[in-house]
Amino acid sequence: MIGIDLKNEDVVTLAELAKSLPGRPSVRTLWRWATKGRLGVTLETACLGGKRVSSMEAAQRFSDRLTAAVNAKADDVDQHRQKQIARAERELDDADVK
């Protein structure tokens, strides 16, 4: 994990970050992304002054990694579907169905 660069990133609370993201996800959603993640990707956070903080840059990295994970999963589904189609076509050929 890269981590938040406290010197060079605009650090905000999760509540502030939630207000600035498209769709305005809830603070609970950001907390879940940070602690449990989504498709193996977590939102980078840091504990600062007793509060959990993140940054727009961290949100961008989360989005980039999550998009890559979703695309990879879609590719896996497509490959699986292609194998199913090929198997069905072989079965039809074996049964001499046109």
Confidence (pLDDT) at 70: 86
Is it the case that residue 2 has pLDDT exceeding 70? no
pLDDT digits (tens, 9 = 90+) for 30-76: 999 999 999 999 999 999 889 999 999 999 999 999 999 888 875 55
Name every residue whose Cβ is closer than 8 Å to that of residue 44 and which is 6 or more positions away in sequence: 1, 2, 3, 4, 34, 54, 55, 58, 61, 62
pTM equals 0.71
Task: Of 34, 46, 40, 96, give the one whose Cα is nearest residue 65.
Answer: 40
